[in-house]
Structure 1
Amino acid sequence: MSLINGHPLAGVNAKMKSRHSNDRREVRVEMTEARQFGLSDEELAAYQPVFRSDLFVGQRVLVTGGGSGLGKATAWLFGRLGAEIIIAGRKPERLDAAATPMRAAGLKVQTRALNIRDRDSIDSLFAGAKGGSGLPTILINNAGGQFPQAAIDYSAKGWNAVIDTNLNGTWAMMQVAAQCWRDAGIPGSIVNIVTVVDRGMPGVAHTCAARAGVIGLTRSVAVEWIPYGIRVNCVAPGAIMTEGHVVYSDEARESYKRSNPMMRFGDAFDVAEACAYLAGPSGKFITGETLTVDGGGRLWGEFWAIPKPDYFK
């Protein structure tokens, strides 16, 4: 998700430049003249995680929307930390393309076709897992999508499509996973990728409404489901550079790096490591929370997913 779950920037080739600060490797994404968004497979394979390499050995992690962007980076990270990975999405060819370099790097990864707007598709995925290699114990709800448009011009179809995907689809994944864990008597952890909704998001009101709904759901079921050993949290990315930025105008993309006091984009591993922190043993006493990864953007600056009206200039 970047700013919003495709969570970013279409076309700017991102080079990873690193510096050492307080013994921690920081990765900074910079735009170059080549037009490609997000991190390459080579960069995903070479990144040095802050977590130990065997942290998730013996666990299965399901990442929806795992064929690109934040989902792919998150799958790479969990896989490199020892987990067995299931990446799911609507386009098998994209999943296969994502899985091939992961397998070449020695990661254990499966692909599954999934439409989170179709409850039968979700039920089938979990039924297959129960009858096959086993249920995932961690669910990263990353799948979603939206389009930039002034809210006053939304069609009913456009509004419903975003709500059905980003709210209803996420809820369906949460519920089915929780039911499976409850019935099997095993604990589980859910991390929902949302977005920063504190101040509203002009130009993407539909996704702001949907993501706010997911945050509310997370807070509610975090209490209901803890008797089953199920933790539920959210990660809210800000201006993160991934392929998802392709849907935004050059003006909007240029404004994103000024939407936070760090005056730059984050990268997909900022979000992936937040997911690992919440899903892993480091998050064992955390549930119902939203971890914001936006460079301080919700405290400063402004964001427009559509051209800023002259009234505000």
Structure 2
Amino acid sequence: MTEPTPFGFDDEALAARPTVYQPRLFAGQVAIVSGAGSGIGKAIAFLYARLGARLVICGRDPAKLESCAEWLRRLGSPDVLVQVTNIREPEQVEQLIDVVWRHFGRVDVLVNNAGGQFPQRALDYSVKGWKAVIDTNLNGTWYMMQALARRWRDTGTQGNIVNIVATFQRGMPGVAHTCAARAAVTYLSKTVAVEWAQYGIRVNCIAPGAIASTGFRQYSPEAVKAFAGANPMKHVGDVQDVAEAVVYLSAPSGKFITGELLTVDGGGVLWGEAWTIAKPDYFKVST
């Protein structure tokens, strides 16, 4: 079996990853995946395509989206819609939902994967840097959730939301901004999972730990090397681990699950520590 590089699988290897799911599981269904141009988002889109879903992929980089779309068609998705969208802008989100509804007439699954952060000590955050992370990881996620939930409510159709967050439960030194945003999304999801149950809308979150992907490129080589030792299984996960968890929650297998946080991190929230910045001498054990 092909093992991922420190930055994940190439497209060919990703397309050939084994899956436990039957090939036509999502035949006839429509899934929106944000941030699908690379990393975890691409893996999620690849798996949905292999399972027969029609796909909407959105993000801010048209070249990456088009490259992903070519693979999705090769993998068997009967229809792929590419939309360049900045989820920080609610008007663009509303336009996205309008375009999708006109094209497909339905949406079954929304995967809010778009997001990002940069490693830096919290004392050094600028106002601009803080707002950029919060606007994408919290506000953008919410704009997508609300816009689609309103459409489902108004059309009397059921839907399913899976939000990709992070393992914020024990803190993540160096990315306090994303911990704040991801924790907010998690508890927002728990709340609206109750409010929206009457409309047949399920809302869940997945918290990936250290996952070998292009997202590792923003961290120092020392941090990336340390990630493998930050959980009791002593290795990083791969993007397919997260994609399969998303399918589990959005398929009939998850029909009685809502308001939950599924952590995919090799037990990292139970043991170990993950520094995304240089570990201060204060925390180093003297020998």
Residue 86 (structure 1) aligns with: 56
**In 1, are the aligned partners of 2:204 and 2:249 still within 8 Å (CA)?**
yes
Secondary structure of the 1:291 match is strand
Residue 169 (structure 1) aligns with: 140
Distance 2:140 2:119 in 1: 20
Residue 246 (structure 1) aligns with: 217
Which amino acid is 1:52 matched to? Q
**In 2, are the aligned partners of 1:222 and 1:288 still within 8 Å (CA)?**
yes
Secondary structure of the 2:269 match is helix
Residue 55 (structure 1) aligns with: 25
| Residue 131 of structure 1, CA deviation | 1.6
Q: What whole-Å deviation, never above 9, does each CA across 1:222-257 have from its counterpart, x for those lacking one?
A: 000000000000000001000011100011101100
Residue 129 (structure 1) aligns with: 100
Distance 1:139 1:130 in 2: 13
Distance 2:72 2:189 in 1: 31
Percent identity, please. 57
Which amino acid is 1:233 matched to? N
Relative to structure 1, the CA distance from residue 149 to residue 229 in structure 2 (aligned partners, 3 Å threshold; closer, same or farther) is: same
Compute the TM-score of the two structures, normalised by the length of structure 1: 0.88
Which amino acid is 1:146 matched to? Q
Unmatched 5+ stretches in structure 1: 1-15, 18-28
Residue 306 (structure 1) aligns with: 277
Which amino acid is 2:237 matched to? G
Root-mean-square deviation (CA), in Å? 1.1
**In 1, are the aligned partners of 2:166 and 2:182 still within 8 Å (CA)?**
yes
1:228 paired with 2:228, answer no
Residue 273 (structure 1) aligns with: 244
Which amino acid is 1:263 matched to? K
1:204 paired with 2:171, answer no
Residue 125 (structure 2) aligns with: 154
Residue 67 (structure 2) aligns with: 97
Which amino acid is 1:150 matched to? R
**In 1, are the aligned partners of 2:121 and 2:173 still within 8 Å (CA)?**
yes
**In 1, are the aligned partners of 2:30 and 2:104 still within 8 Å (CA)?**
no
**In 2, are the aligned partners of 1:126 and 1:135 still within 8 Å (CA)?**
no
Residue 45 (structure 1) aligns with: 15
Pairs aligned (count): 283
**In 1, are the aligned partners of 2:4 and 2:238 still within 8 Å (CA)?**
no
**Bigger RCO (CA 8 Å, 6+ sep):** 1
**In 2, are the aligned partners of 1:62 and 1:138 still within 8 Å (CA)?**
yes
Q: Decide which of 173, 178, 186 is 2:149's aligned counterpart.
A: 178
Distance 2:73 2:28 in 1: 17
Which amino acid is 1:121 matched to? Q
Which amino acid is 1:301 matched to? G
| Residue 267 of structure 1, CA deviation | 0.5
**In 2, are the aligned partners of 1:196 and 1:298 still within 8 Å (CA)?**
yes
| Residue 49 of structure 1, CA deviation | 0.9
Which amino acid is 2:29 matched to? Q
| Residue 39 of structure 1, CA deviation | 1.2
| Residue 110 of structure 1, CA deviation | 1.9
Distance 1:69 1:301 in 2: 24
Question: Runs of at least 4 residues of structure 1 off by over 4 A?
Answer: none
| Residue 30 of structure 1, CA deviation | 5.1
Compute the TM-score of the two structures, normalised by the length of structure 2: 0.96
Distance 1:273 1:62 in 2: 16
Answer with 37-46 or 220-229: which moved more.
37-46
1:284 paired with 2:245, answer no
Distance 1:306 1:312 in 2: 13
**In 1, are the aligned partners of 2:249 and 2:257 still within 8 Å (CA)?**
yes
Q: What whole-Å deviation, never above 9, does each CA across 1:35-57 have from its counterpart, x for those lacking one?
A: x7211111122112101111111
Q: Decide which of 217, 231, 234 is 2:188's aligned counterpart.
A: 217
